[in-house]
A and B are shown apart, each in its own frame.
Chain A
């Protein structure tokens, strides 16, 4: 088992340790916010840390609305801070 996982955050490299959550990996990398609020455009990151508050949502491997505090880091994982627009029906 490798002791280092390589992920990307908006394309930039990010490393994590096995067993770590995405939120923990971001925290250790010094990233404290990865979302802006709809109304005020304010930065948000981890708050409750246990899946209750939904402040730490991000896009993981193209799947929106994932809680960074709960998603286990995996090698090759793509993290994105901005949800993509919904596709049109002809996509």
Chain B
């Protein structure tokens, strides 16, 4: 079954909700496709439909509801294939097998297998960037965002003695959330140094709300006597079949491990995050141009109306550069306004200019944040030959090294081909950055080409052979 729309928005997080609202309110017929069951995405994840954690969410939620049938929300469906064209087409499959999830959404049985739209606004969000560390495959080690998702969705604590480590401001709400839920945070480790913030005061001063947010987290941490250990990293996770302790190490100013002053800390939960990786599979599938952002992540290139270089394909939110919910909302609105204007709808140009200013302000803030929280130059130093890099295919750092040193692999794609690193279930989503970094010359950050080769995915989500064989194509209609 194919349904046709003016605009298809993929992702119902802050950016996607704002885009759908903006386009819908200007008279376009919109479909909002999301893998989750409820709007809100990862950021506004909540336990029930009634819970409204945030005024920004409440506003968008109310306006979406007010639009009624003008915005069709297709929940619990992931896009596994996209075809750019006139119109564009998205192929959908249930996030959770339909045989299990019988009570998904009121209209789960009517979800289209394919939607067509003249414009796409892709707001796929992102997920924690990871760096391998010895022992990180042990149960009890989780992405910081996963720990947060358990807390937000059902108040579930993934452990009672937690180490939160990596880099970036997102570590603070994760630690604060764990504390409020009753866990002990035995170490909160930031690889960077907070004085990095002070170096770019302009970017911070432009977004005063961020300072207040940070102060609130700091207060929670202070109340529980948790201090932020700067220039500190987890160099090893220990345990037999579950985490029992971690080893912490200190970094010097250059981000290299200082020998000899590591400490061991008992823990049953380790939350790791090194900034974020943008989900780019749909954008790379349509051939949109990409670039390396200030944080070293690959992001999609957009113009000042959120258009990619592919006609009729727009992007908003973390896909264009990691910058948080306020930036995502602004970009989403801008993308929705652009899609409306490109479709011939009347658009308030003053509003466009205002939103554009908001985007610029938040981008400046994000850039300052990224520069204060780099991936430490020395992270490879705590790898051992038997440290798993690719969790799916269990490819070790030693095997990657051999592919480079003995077999002549000099880029991420060749490393993948020779080792299967990044070739498993997750298709390099988790180990892609590390694979690209390990393929780069010693000391260098991953190149754009290497990041592209680990970001491309021929299928945006797994699809069963049966579903592929059954499906509908445009020409079959």
Contact = CB atoms under 8 A, between A and B. Distances in A.
Interface of A: 17, 19-21, 23-24, 27-28, 32-33, 37-40, 42-55, 57, 60-61, 63, 65-67, 69-72, 74, 77
Q: Which among B35, B138, B156, B394 has the highest number of chain A CB atoms within 10 Å?
A: B156
B147 A20 contact: no
Given A50-B42, A52-B429, A52-B430, A74 B103 contact: yes
A51 to B, nearest CB: 7
A72 B103 CA distance: 10
Interface of B: 35, 37, 42, 47-48, 95-97, 99-101, 103, 127-128, 137-143, 145-150, 153-154, 156-158, 241-242, 391-394, 424-426, 429-430, 462
A38 B390 CA distance: 13
Contacts of A33: 139, 241-242
Contact of B145 (A42, A49, A66): A49
A38 B142 CA distance: 20
B10 to A, nearest CB: 15
A60 B100 contact: yes
Contact of A17 (B139, B154, B391, B393): B154
- Counting from the closest, the 5 A-B pairs by CB-CB distance are A49-B146, A54-B425, A33-B139, A32-B139, A24-B156
B394 A48 contact: no
Nearest to B46: A19
B394 A40 contact: yes
Main secondary structure of the interface of A (DSSP, over half): loop
A47 B426 CA distance: 12
B400 to A, nearest CB: 15
A48 B125 CA distance: 14
B246 to A, nearest CB: 16
B143 A47 contact: yes
Contacts of B157: 27-28
Given A47-B142, A47-B430, A53-B429, 8 more contacts: A17-B154, A24-B154, A39-B393, A48-B145, A54-B424, A60-B97, A61-B100, A69-B146
B327 to A, nearest CB: 20
A65 B153 CA distance: 22
Contacts of A49: 142-143, 145-150
Given A33-B242, A53-B430, A19 B100 contact: no
A62 to B, nearest CB: 8
Given A24-B153, A43-B241, A72 B101 contact: yes
Contacts of B99: 61, 63
A53 B426 contact: yes
A70 B95 contact: yes
A69 B45 CA distance: 13
B54 to A, nearest CB: 18
A82 B212 CA distance: 48
A28 B157 CA distance: 7
Contacts of A20: 153-154, 156
Contacts of B392: 53-55
Given A32-B140, A63-B100, A69-B146, A51 B156 contact: no
A57 B424 CA distance: 13
A2 to B, nearest CB: 14
A39 B394 contact: yes
Given A47-B141, A48-B127, A69 B97 contact: no
B95 A51 contact: yes
Contact of A27 (B100, B141, B156, B462): B156
B466 to A, nearest CB: 12
Nearest to A63: B97
Contacts of B156: 20, 24, 27-28
A64 B158 CA distance: 24
